Structure 1
Amino acid sequence: MKLYLLPLALLAAPLSAQANAPTLSPELQTGLRCAALFSVVAAEQARMGARDWPPITARGREFFVRVSARAMDAGKLDRPALQALMRSEVAAVRKAETRAALKAPCLAMLDANIPPTARRP
């Protein structure tokens, strides 16, 4: 299944430098950055609400799983290598200004890949 990711310069910025970091496409780098953001927001929503975001937990988890699997396949990553990449991304998106800058593009990416369920009247 192909993920539809936005080619935004801010999101496509390289992952944090690591000695043995694999070369991933900008599409996967973007996906990993947004997956990290969704995990941070979901944790905040569980603790204190994060009311300025729509509910992220279920869709964010599915997005995280899909993009992680693609990154592992494309980058020939094992679980520890993926975890190291995600830890660095989570650290990068913890800053409020970073989260604010990534919010709209990542939500658009989430909607494109895992559409919200239709609400019934």
Structure 2
Amino acid sequence: MIIHFLSVLALAAQQTSPANAPVAPTTSAPVLALEQTAALRCAAAIAVTARLQEAGVEEAKNYPPLGERGREFFVRTVAKLIDDTGLTREVLSDRLAGEAELFLDKDRLWATMPACLLMLETAGV
């Protein structure tokens, strides 16, 4: 699962372009419950923010350091989603990549982070 975290971090480092626009999930994949969707979105947001912190992006420094805590939250979230939904790592990886692509719009990322930080704290990570 650390590899999935790293792949989301790598995606966060990419520049946006029309060629890598977000891909809609396939209709054959199960729909996640609201809480599961929020956890998935926050796992991606925290991973992207952690990557931006590592890269020295000034706005990302407005948040507490997310490196190790972010990885742990990411791993726990993905493991719980696998257990609760039966989705594979590959399917979740695709969904995480889609979420991370949305966060290339930093305004969207910064708007999402307060709720994700609350989720991180609630998770006890």
- Indicate the TM-score class for this superposition, using the shorter chain for normalisation: 0.7 to 0.9
Q: SS of the residue aligned with 1:94?
A: coil
Task: Indicate the structure whose relative CO is greater, using CA pairs within 8 Å and at least 6 residues apart.
Answer: 2
Q: For structure 2, list consecutive stretches of 5 or more residues without a partner in the other structure.
A: 1-23
Figure out how many residues of one structure are paired with residues of the other and give that number. Answer: 100
- The equivalent of 1:40 in structure 2 is 48
Bigger helix share: 2
Please, what TM-score do these two structures have when normalized by structure 1? 0.75
For the aligned residue pairs, the C-alpha RMSD in angstroms reads: 1.5
- The equivalent of 1:100 in structure 2 is 110
Shift of 1:114: 2.3
Shift of 1:87: 0.6
Q: Percent identity?
A: 34
Q: SS of the residue aligned with 1:77?
A: coil
Shift of 1:74: 2.1
Q: 1:25 aligns with which of 24, 30, 33?
A: 33
Please, what TM-score do these two structures have when normalized by structure 2? 0.73
- The equivalent of 1:112 in structure 2 is 122
Q: For structure 1, list consecutive stretches of 5 or more residues without a partner in the other structure.
A: 1-15, 116-121
Aligned equivalents of 1:41 and 1:107: distance in 2? 11
